[in-house]
Structure 1
Amino acid sequence: MRPFMVAAVQYSLTGITTEAEFWRKITATTQEAAGRGADLIVFPEYMTAHLLGFTEEMDHEAACRYLDSYTDDYMALMQKNSREQGLMILGGTHICKEYGKFFNKAFLFFPDGRIETQSKLHLTPEEQTRWPLAAGDSLNVVETSWGKLAMLTCYDIEFPELARLAADQGAELLLCPSYTDTSFGYYRVRLCAQARAIENQLFVALSGIVGELSEDRPQVDRGYCQAGLFTPCDVPFAEDGILETGELNQDMFVMGELDFSMLRTNREQGLVAPFYDRRPALYQQQENRLLREC
């Protein structure tokens, strides 16, 4: 099987002043990635929140209703681009309403019209207290022609149990659309993404938002990111586990080839084997002991 080409986007909040320009930018970025041979493009968390920059400032609940009103347009554009350009699109995350609740949801579009989704499972303290958002309650491990993948949105990547659960179900690629507005937040997500690649001997693709709106918005106003494609820190990969990274805080996307045969070589012939050498019985035994002592 040929290598899988992935583009991870550093999406800029600058340079756009209308809704029409927003949709055109997404299409242009997708077209450029497809023209360079991408099989998958990964847009960042809260990407559609850029639409808040073109309207009056509003509170978080009103912002959720406003963004949800674009759900049909968002779905139609992403499906059209995926079909016409012939590549999979992780359309960042989009706030939408289901069962009377708002979710921060990732959508993965396939050229044949298939759509897979993943609600964010771990909400940040701000998302729990300021946003009227509900957390997801299940992990979707997605089958593709290249193998299995899972979508872990931003804060989700900071929980090793979740990535391990995906790996145990056969995932060899984690997609991490993120939104971080400070270097602190970025490095938490970035370093955890690399840790998950090492622990589970798989690939991680990280995307994010960069730039700054001309006027502050309480939901999304600025971003800090260096998108990247990460591998285990072991043979046959690079010592630092970095396949590709972008230029910090620049409006761009980074592309690289994911060769799953190399990943399997790593699991079979690497100098260490953290995916196989864990001791769940020992961990459970220690947890039971601590519970008895409490």
Structure 2
Amino acid sequence: MLAAVGQLCSTNNVARNTALCVSLIRRAAAARCAILYLPEAADFIADAKEVPKLSEPLDTSEFVRRVRAQAKESAMWVGVGVHEKATQDKCYNTNLLISPDGEIAEAYRKLHLFDVKHSGPSGGIMMESNTTIPGDKLLDPVETPIGKIGLLTCYDLRFPEVGLSLRRRGAQVLCYPSAFTIKTGAPHWEVLLRARAIENQCYVLAPAQIGQHSPSRQTYGHAMIIDPWGGVLAQASDRPPKFPPPDEGDEDAGTFVMTEVDLDWLEQMRREMPLWEQRREDVYPIL
């Protein structure tokens, strides 16, 4: 089965972002992918003050409706990160997995929020909690044609416990739709993705935002797919789209890469190196 991850540059123009995501789904379906995973915040990336007015409940979001409709028309699985309205002032950072019949198979709300204070001249403060409420539940993996998928999001990547918990529940694939910063992307992105793949003996799907989303927001990109041995099977271009992006007709602002997922090999590797059975529950706690 072929799996694909998307890379795009969302802005505060939700209609533009919607059209871009729908186009990516169509293109991935034409390439005979079983699933396309789109990045975190695919519906929009905007200044904090805009988040409350742009966020929508899942059942009334035009972005979600269009993505679900295209998943159904294309008869493929689609994953995507969105802002799910929670209160008048705040949202959830939600990772949706949509089935080929257009239904939401699962909706994971990001557990770990990106609240950081970088020092130095290139530093800065990012407080996701100013606009976002953290989730309170880790969900069981979802059965799909490419295996049992465990849903996580971006900053969750830095917490190995959640990946290990999903592996314990049967995950064969871990998904981290992301919008990594430039500062953290180069030193940490690939290293962490490969570590999560190796320690859990899982495929890792890592769709990513890329480029200049606004005068004050830029992301790293490098969407990739990692195999359970830690190898990078596919990686998107590191060339960001132009800024400011046009309102329409900018398919170059979005792309995807794909690769085959081999579950027989995954299970063989787990048998040959039985990490899970070798854990020392008598010495340390098992998640």
Verify the 8 A CA contact 1:106 1:117 in the aligned structure 2. Answer: yes
Aligned-pair distance for 1:47? 1.8
Verify the 8 A CA contact 2:6 2:256 in the aligned structure 1. Answer: yes
Aligned to 2:279: 278
Aligned to 1:190: 190
Aligned to 1:102: 91
Aligned to 1:222: 218
**Matching of residue 68 in structure 1 with residue 56 in structure 2:** yes
SS in 2 for 1:281: coil
What RMSD in Å do the two structures reach over aligned CA positions?
A: 2.5
Aligned-pair distance for 1:79? 1.0
Q: 2:79 aligns with which of 73, 87, 90?
A: 90
**Matching of residue 7 in structure 1 with residue 28 in structure 2:** no
Q: One-letter code of the match for 2:260?
A: E
Q: Report the TM-score when normalising by structure 2.
A: 0.82
**Matching of residue 255 in structure 1 with residue 251 in structure 2:** no
Aligned to 2:205: 205
Q: Report the TM-score when normalising by structure 1.
A: 0.80
Change (3 A) 1:274 1:12: same
Q: Which string of whole-angstrom CA distances, capped at 9 and with x for unpartnered residues, describes residues 30-62 of structure 1?
A: 111000011111111122224x4xxxxx5x254
Q: Which string of whole-angstrom CA distances, capped at 9 and with x for unpartnered residues, describes residues 199-223 of structure 1?
A: 111110011111213x425xxx222
Verify the 8 A CA contact 2:212 2:219 in the aligned structure 1. Answer: yes
Aligned ranges for residues 263-274 of structure 1 at < 5 Å? 263-269=266-272, 272-274=273-275
SS in 1 for 2:33: coil
* Partner Cα separation in structure 2 for residue 284 and residue 24 of structure 1: 47
Q: One-letter code of the match for 1:124?
A: F
Verify the 8 A CA contact 2:17 2:44 in the aligned structure 1. Answer: no
Change (3 A) 1:168 1:130: closer
Identity %: 25
* Partner Cα separation in structure 2 for residue 247 and residue 18 of structure 1: 23
Verify the 8 A CA contact 2:141 2:169 in the aligned structure 1. Answer: no
Q: One-letter code of the match for 2:161?
A: E
* Partner Cα separation in structure 1 for residue 215 and residue 64 of structure 2: 27
Change (3 A) 1:185 1:119: same
Aligned to 1:172: 172
Structure exhibiting the larger radius of gyration computed from Cα positions = 1
Verify the 8 A CA contact 2:91 2:131 in the aligned structure 1. Answer: yes
Verify the 8 A CA contact 2:227 2:233 in the aligned structure 1. Answer: yes
